[in-house]
Amino acid sequence: MYYRFGKVFHFLSIMFFILVFIYIYSSVPETVAYEIDDQGIMVKGFSRNSFFYVGIVIFAVLNISLALPAKMIEKQSTANLKRLFPIGDKFRDYMLTWIFSFIGIVNVSLCILTLFVHSINNQNEISSSSFSGFFYMVPILFVTWIVALFWILSQKFKTLQHGT
């Protein structure tokens, strides 16, 4: 039942993203910059409403497309999934935990990205250099989760080969 922790993390990351995104939407100027030059003048940008709608669409598409395999495994929607991940199998639990926690990591990464856009547009409040630690953390988390996925799959394949 580890996957319940993954679901909770996924849910909390959704709430965190929504709160952060609404805060940032309310605090950015009418024209949101996503690239500035050396003097801090906007080079590339778009409207605040476009930023909001594009951000919500990206968030929704990523969450739905990444949660779909988990829901298919959870509901055992195909015969192959029933055979590969039967109810009660520990690897089913591991895989569901991995998927839901990976979606949570993606959501946290989107939060960090929107905080960076916020720092570009409100340089008097927070500097973009203060996010450098977070930007190093994101690839480390992704690599760790991908390694965990390969470990889960290799363990599952070993059990399939041995027939246990």
User: What are the pLDDT digits (tens) for 40-66?
Assistant: 677 788 888 998 999 999 999 999 999
Tell me: the pLDDT tens digits for 95-140? 999 999 999 999 999 998 888 888 877 766 666 666 677 778 889 9
Domain residue ranges in the chain: 3-159
| 24 class by beta-carbon count within 10 Å (0-12 exposed, 13-18 middle, 19+ buried) | buried
What is the reported pLDDT for 142?
92
pTM for the whole thing?
A: 0.86
User: What is residue 130's DSSP assignment?
Assistant: G
Q: What local confidence, expressed as pLDDT, does residue 129 receive?
A: 66
